[in-house]
Amino acid sequence: MLITLALAVTLVVLLFARDVSRSAHGSATSRRSEDRSFGALANALITSENNFDVRLEYLLAHGGTLHRDVFAARLAQLDQQLPGWSTAADQLRRPVLAHDVNESLNQLTLERVAAYQTLLGDVAHALTLAWDSGPSQVVADPSTSLVTTSQRWNVDRFALVKEPGGVHLTATSSLSAAYFAQNGVAALVHAPSLTLNRGIGIAALRVSPAPLPASPGVLLLPPVTSVQFGVSVLNASYADQPVTLTIRVTPLNARGASFTQTLTSTLGPSQAYAFVPRPVRTAASERARVVVSLSGAPAAAGMVTSETYQMEMSPSGNA
């Protein structure tokens, strides 16, 4: 009886040991797979960050050879990459790995995104570029933040080396941060091709009803009771440009009445805008001076910011 009991106990112990061994082996296999999958995706993200860093450092160092519109386009292209990093890092938070390495990667990525967004915004504002993007959290010293996050990651990235799979995670680079900390944007601000030269001009004047054939500078119109003007204005500079349009109609005879209206708008870089004042009340046989003027910036090359016309209304056919 005792021998039978001893054999039964031995069998149970052996079966338990086998199950524990299989469980441990299965757990190690699962963890190895999870660690290696995380490593591949995390290194792809970090490689993307490092490529970004190289491109930004090059743009900061050599951007002075570019025109303002090209420089702004490349800066915007870099900025558009940043939200994708946050999404990718958030997706790597599960399953939770040893030493919370994926949570560490997520947190450091968020900090680096905010630092890069702040740095790009600082460059754009220093050059007076149109810039709508902004970080969710402004970083007081973005270059220092980028360097310190790289240092922190250089410790955390070894968390999985001794875990199943022996995953080696790539280091993050901070070339652009080092350049920005040492040089700032002085070279860019003083680069002739990036210098902001503001200029605006009257691109076209539209009159309704359409004027009849007449001498240059004369608006010969049929005897209508109102005239609608439309003024197309061009911002010839690559920057946001506030402009003010004023139209004045001054009667030169006893017909008609004075008219003045001022309109304002902000034109985007190299954009045009059509101002449409209120209709001007007119009378048959009226003669008036029409002055259209712009303010906000000097006249662009080959353009004017003021135009003067003589408006002549035809006599009424009912006289």
Residues 167 and 298 in one domain: no
59 within a domain of the structure (yes/no) = yes
pTM of the model: 0.80
Burial 117-152 (b: 16+ CB within 10 A, else e): bbbbbbbbeebbbebeeebeeebeebbebbbbbbee
Neighbours of 96 (CB within 10 A): 11
- Residue 99's pLDDT is what? 84
318 within a domain of the structure (yes/no) = no
Closest CA to 88 of 145, 137, 46: 46
3-state class (DSSP) for residue 206: strand
For residue 11, give both structure tokens: 């069998």
Preceding amide of 164 cis, omega within 30: no
Say if residues 88 and 211 touch (Cβ distance below 8 Å).
Answer: no
Residues 68 and 116 in one domain: yes
Q: Which helix (H) or strand (E) holds 246?
A: strand 241-251
Q: How far apart are CA 24 and CA 1, in angstroms?
A: 35
User: Domain of 6?
Assistant: 2-194
The number of CA neighbours under 13 Å toward the Cβ of 199 is 13
Q: Which helix (H) or strand (E) holds 251?
A: strand 241-251
Q: Assign 3-state DSSP to the chain and report helix, strand, coil percentages, each to 5.
A: 45, 20, 30
Q: Domain end: 134, 162, 194, which one?
A: 194
- Residue 4's pLDDT is what? 53
Residues 21 and 161 in one domain: yes
Identify how many contiguous H helices and E strands the chain contains and give both numbers.
6, 9
Residues 41 and 97 in one domain: yes
Residues of the chain falling short of pLDDT 50: 2, 5-26
Looking at residue 297, the DSSP 8-state letter turns out to be: S
Residues 104 and 241 in one domain: no
Residues 163 and 296 in one domain: no
Convert the pLDDT of each residue in 16-66 to its tens digit: 434 433 344 347 788 898 999 999 999 999 999 999 999 999 999 999 999
Say if residues 56 and 48 touch (Cβ distance below 8 Å).
Answer: no
319 within a domain of the structure (yes/no) = no
Number of domains composing the chain: 2
